[in-house]
C-alpha cells in the first residue's frame, strides 16, 4: 500500500510529538494510531505499523530514564517478561478478528481512553506496599496491560503510570519511568508478531520510528519539569478531532 509524501510527512511529525507525549505521560498512541487510520491504512496494518514505530519511542524513553537511575531493577525483572507474554496474547487475539469489525472496536476504545484521560482525578502517590505485594501488583499490571497493548495499545502508558502510582505508591516521575519497562516489552512483543504476519509497512514505520526515537529522548528529558496537564490537554484536543473524523468515515 502506497502512502503519498505529504501524508508520510504528516505521520512523521505526529510520531515525533507522540514520542514526546508518551515519554512524559503516556498516551502517544492516541496520536499515532488514529493518524494511521486517518490516512487510509486498514486496521490490522495500522495497528502493526503503529507498533513498528512506537517501540523506538518507548525504547528511547526507557534508556533516558535508566540513565537517570529512575528504574526499579527488581520490578523491571518482573514487568518486562510478563509485559512480553501479555502483549503476545493480545496481539494474537487481534489477528484473529475480522478486519471489517475492527474499525468500530478501535473507535469505541479510542473514545473510552479519551474519556478516561479527560475525567480521571488528579493522581497522587500513596503508601508503598510490601516488596512481595509490589511484585504481585507489578505482575498483574504487566500481564493485563501488556495484553491490552498487544490488542490495541493507545493509552497504555498512561494506564501503567496510574497503576504504579495508585497501587504501588510511586511518585509520578518514577511511575512514568517504570511504566516504560512494561511499555517497551509489550511494544516489542507485539511488533514481532505483527511483523511475522506481514502487518507492518516498513516504508511508513521507518521514518515514524526515527521521529519517535528523537521524541522519546526529548520527552524523557522534559518529564522532570512537569507539563503533564498541558500535554494531556493537547492529546485530548487531537484525539477528539480524530475520533470525530473516524466516526464520520465509519458512518459514511
pLDDT of residue 85: 95
Cα 62 from Cα 176, distance rounded (Å): 10
pLDDT of residue 214: 93
Cα 94 from Cα 150, distance rounded (Å): 8
Q: At residue 39, what are phi and psi to the nearest 5 degrees?
A: -85, 0
Predicted TM-score (pTM) of the model is 0.78
Q: What is the mean pLDDT of residues 4-28?
A: 87
Q: Dump pLDDT digits (tens) for 70-129.
A: 899 999 999 999 999 999 998 788 777 765 666 677 677 767 766 766 665 555 556 778
Confidence of residue 142 (pLDDT cuts 50, 70, 90): very high
pLDDT of residue 208: 95
C-alpha grid cell, residue 132: 512481595
Q: Dump pLDDT digits (tens) for 209-249.
A: 999 999 988 888 777 666 455 545 655 665 666 567 667 76
How many independent structural domains does the chain possess?
A: 1
Give, in degrees to the nearest 5, the angle at Cα 237 between 210 and 123. 90
Domain, as residue range, for 48:
5-251
pLDDT of residue 202: 92
187-217 b/e (C-beta count within 10 Å ≥ 16 → b): bbbbbbbbbeeebbbeebbebbbbbbbbbbb
Q: Dump pLDDT digits (tens) for 165-217.
A: 888 988 877 888 899 999 999 989 988 988 888 889 999 999 999 999 999 88
Amino acid at each position: 500500500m502506497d502512502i503519498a509524501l505529504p501524508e508520510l510527512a504528516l505521520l512523521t511529525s505526529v510520531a515525533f510529538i507522540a514520542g514526546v507525549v508518551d515519554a512524559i505521560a503516556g498516551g502517544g498512541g492516541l496520536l499515532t494510531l488514529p493518524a494511521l487510520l486517518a490516512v487510509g491504512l486498514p486496521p490490522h496494518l495500522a495497528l502493526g505499523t503503529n507498533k513498528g514505530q512506537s517501540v523506538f519511542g518507548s525504547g528511547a524513553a526507557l534508556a533516558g530514564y535508566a540513565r537517570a537511575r529512575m528504574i526499579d531493577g527488581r520490578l523491571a525483572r518482573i514487568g518486562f517478561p510478563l509485559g512480553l507474554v501479555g502483549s503476545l496474547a493480545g496481539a494474537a487475539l487481534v489477528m484473529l478478528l475480522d478486519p471489517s469489525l475492527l474499525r468500530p472496536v478501535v473507535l469505541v476504545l479510542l473514545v473510552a481512553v479519551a474519556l478516561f484521560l479527560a475525567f480521571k482525578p488528579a493522581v497522587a502517590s500513596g503508601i508503598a506496599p510490601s516488596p512481595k505485594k509490589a511484585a504481585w501488583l507489578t505482575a498483574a499490571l504487566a500481564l493485563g496491560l501488556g495484553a491490552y497493548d498487544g490488542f490495541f495499545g493507545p493509552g497504555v502508558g498512561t494506564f501503567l503510570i496510574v497503576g504504579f502510582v495508585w497501587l504501588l505508591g510511586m511518585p509520578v516521575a518514577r511511575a512514568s519511568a517504570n511504566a516504560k519497562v512494561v511499555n517497551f516489552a509489550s511494544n516489542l512483543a507485539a511488533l514481532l508478531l505483527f511483523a511475522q504476519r506481514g502487518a507492518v509497512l516498513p516504508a511508513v514505520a521507518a521514518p515514524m520510528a526515527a521521529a519517535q526515537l528523537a521524541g522519546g529522548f526529548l520527552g524523557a528529558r522534559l518529564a522532570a519539569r512537569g507539563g503533564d496537564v498541558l500535554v494531556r490537554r493537547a492529546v485530548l484536543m487531537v484525539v477528539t478531532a480524530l475520533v470525530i473524523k473516524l466516526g464520520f468515515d465509519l458512518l459514511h
